[in-house]
Amino acid sequence: MLIDTHAHLDDAQYDEDRADVIKRATAEGIEKIINMGADITSSYKSVELAKTYDMVYAAVGIHPEDADKMTAKDDYILAELANENKKVVAIGEIGLDYHFRTDNKEIQKRVFIRQLDIARQLHLPVSIHDRDAHGDLMQILKNEGRKIEGVIHCYSGSVEMAKELFKLGWHIGIDGPLTFKNAAKLPDVVQMMPLERLLLETDCPYLAPVPNRGKRNEPAYVKHTAEKAAQLRNMAYAELAAITTENAKRLFMKE
């Protein structure tokens, strides 16, 4: 059994066949799916999906691309959503993105820190988006990440950065790009990392792994990323599946 620890099943791309997508995930041995919020609207949708489908759990949060829009009221909304729903298991997707936006770095950092504080107060882990912002991310985690657990989603950093993250107690999430020919440093990270820090993700509907690259991604495809990771570690698929599933439950599902 596998757990997809980062999905966006609330996306409009699933409006016509969401139930079928979830059935296919079950058929492929996916035990649980954690659906991420990216703004207030999608956070509400994430909670509703968790209420509708037994295997779906929710995270709530504001993505860095929407950091400008986060109001003081939104802090309370996120906290209330997480407090009132037992199937909300994380604050996410939060973080920094300097790929598309470099004009609002200070706003992104402030909003990120605010959401880290929400997670700390609620004793919830976080799912962190980091794109072209490695230096600022590490500084914030060292200064503001104390007493918080979580995962760097769709990891794109170096082996050296990964080692620093592991020292701080963080997990990394691997997605479809691990299976790409231009996977760059990610295979090296997967080969050297402590297995107890590894989580599997799809980021669906984005980043579908080979052999489905270029198509709409879905939770069932997380098995292809797991297969590649097992190959890189020279271990049985079933063993890697068991370890990553236990990792996900230990981080997100403490009940």
Query: What is the mean predicted confidence (pLDDT) over 8-14?
Result: 98
The domain locations on the chain are 2-252
Quick one: pLDDT at residue 251? 98
Q: Which of 90, 87, 76 is nearest to 201 (CA)?
A: 90
Write out pLDDT tens, residues 208-227. Answer: 999 999 999 999 999 999 99
For the chain, the straight-line distance linking the first and the last C-alpha, in angstroms and rounded, comes to 19
What are the Cα distances from residue 205, in Å, to 34, 58, 224, 238? 13, 16, 15, 25
- Looking at residue 80, its pLDDT comes to 97
Q: What percent of the chain has pLDDT over 90?
A: 97
Closest by CA to 143, choosing from 169, 104, 113, is 113
* pLDDT tier at 254, thresholds 50, 70, 90: confident
Tell me the one-letter amino acid at 98. Y
Is 203 labelled a binding residue?
yes
Give the integer Cα–Cα distance in Å for 78 and 99. 26
> Per the CATH hierarchy, to which homologous superfamily does domain 2-252 belong?
Metal-dependent hydrolases (3.20.20.140)
Taking residues 232-243, report their average pLDDT.
98
- Position 255 scores a pLDDT of 57
Q: Does 102 score more than 90 pLDDT?
A: no
Residue 8, marked binder:
yes
**Mean pLDDT over the full length of the chain:** 97
Residue 242 is predicted with a pLDDT of 98
- Give pLDDT, residue 101: 84
129 is in an annotated binding site: yes
Rounded to an integer, the average pLDDT of 75-100 is 96
pLDDT at residue 184, rounded to an integer: 85
Q: Would you put residue 154 in left (φ > 0), alpha (ψ -120 to 50) or beta?
A: left
Please give the model's pTM, rounded to 2 decimal places. Answer: 0.97
- Arithmetic mean of pLDDT, 166-170: 97
The answer to whether the annotation marks 171 as part of a ligand binding site is: no
